[in-house]
Chains A and B, each alone.
Chain A
Amino acid sequence: MMVSPYYQTAIIGVIIVLAAVLDRVKTSRQA
């Protein structure tokens, strides 16, 4: 899959936040 490096930079940011939000949801459910 070819994605422009410019989009890659932005997508990395989105993925970091999504991962953190998912982790947050998971830990709050466990609590």
Chain B
Amino acid sequence: METSKLPLRLARSLARGRESAILLALVLIMAVITVFAPNFMTGENLYLISRQISFVAIVAIGELFVILTGGIDLSVGSVMGLAGVAAAGAMKFGFDPVLAILFGLIVGLAVGAINGALIAYVRIAPFIVTLAMLSFARGLILILTEGWPITQIPKSFLPIGQSDFLALPIPLWIMLLAAVIAWFVLTKTAFGRRTYAIGGNEQATFLSGINVKAITFRLYMISSLCAALVGVILVARFNSAQADTGTGWELDAIAAAVIGGTSLMGGAGSVLGVLIGAAIMGVIRNGLVP
């Protein structure tokens, strides 16, 4: 009896939520595109879209954490590239793929820590710090690679970007895992509530005895970690680390978050909204290609 009512209850809670309008927009956009491009709704095309969406969505989920506090992270594109180059470089020097992935993620975390420290403790505007990091990290990539792609990626590393699991691309599963973790952290933990609180009113949050600086510091690390994760997956996807990987992705990630209902002033936004925002962008981009 209870299980038969479950879809109805899910539909009701979705209709009441902030995301119902953008979900409706997504459905309408897909319907319109299907009318003009009959091969849009094919299984193969939806498979390709799902893989493309998953990359942007993971970066956007990281960006969501930062935007929720009223901040912004413009460096995610360059962090993606740097993490990819770090992981590919480590593998070229003979490291095990697992260690190389960890190295790429640690590089991302380190960049996030620098961003976070300058923003939270030195109190420089997030826009300035991450804009500088965008330029610095991209410069570092170009210095390290001299503009050449890093190839000779071990075969055992490639499945995370190229293979399927249960007929769905592995990057999509990674995105779903990241989304569930982010949803849990933001809605079920004190850390998540405090993140929303900082975006709502930073001064009041500080006066409530919450360590705003420590939380802000960690949020920028989360954002960079998500970007680094995508950077590493893209190395497996393209079988090489390109010097220009991630260029312009910060704008896609911010756009996906904002389309999904995240307020740039902070305090409002959800993981589900970001996923729908990324889906809208992916669908439009795919649907407009003849």
Contacts and interface: CB of A to CB of B under 8 A. Distances in A.
A12 interface: yes
Given A5-B142, A13-B135, A14-B136, 15 more contacts: A6-B143, A9-B139, A10-B138, A10-B139, A11-B139, A12-B135, A13-B137, A13-B139, A16-B128, A16-B132, A16-B135, A17-B118, A17-B133, A20-B132, A21-B118
A24 B123 contact: yes
Interface string B124-147: 110011011111111110110011
A22 to B, nearest CB: 10
A9 B78 CA distance: 12
A12 B139 CA distance: 9
Given A12-B139, A13-B133, A6 B147 contact: yes
Contact of B142 (A6, A14, A24): A6
Interface residues of A, number: 16
Nearest to B118: A17
B288 interface: no
Given A6-B146, A10-B143, A20 B136 contact: no
Interface residues of B, number: 21
B122 interface: yes
Interface string B141-156: 0110011000000000
Interface string B109-125: 00000000010001111
B132 A9 contact: no
Contacts of A20: 118, 124-125, 128-129, 132
B135 A21 contact: no
A22 B134 CA distance: 20
Contacts of A11: 139
Contacts of A21: 118, 122, 124
Interface in A1-31: 4-14, 16-17, 20-21, 24
Of B124, B135, B137, B138, chain A has the most CB atoms within 10 Å of the CB of: B135
Interface in B170-185: none
Nearest to A4: B143
The 4 closest A-B pairs by CB, nearest first: A10-B139, A13-B136, A9-B139, A13-B135
B265 to A, nearest CB: 22
Contacts of B134: 13
A16 B138 CA distance: 14
A17 B124 CA distance: 9
A7 B135 CA distance: 10
Contact of B132 (A4, A6, A7, A13): A13
Contacts of B133: 13, 17
B213 to A, nearest CB: 15
Of A4, A13, A24, chain B has the most CB atoms within 10 Å of the CB of: A13
19 contacts: A6-B142, A8-B139, A9-B138, A10-B135, A10-B136, A10-B142, A12-B135, A12-B136, A12-B139, A13-B134, A13-B135, A13-B137, A13-B139, A14-B136, A16-B128, A16-B131, A21-B122, A21-B124, A24-B123
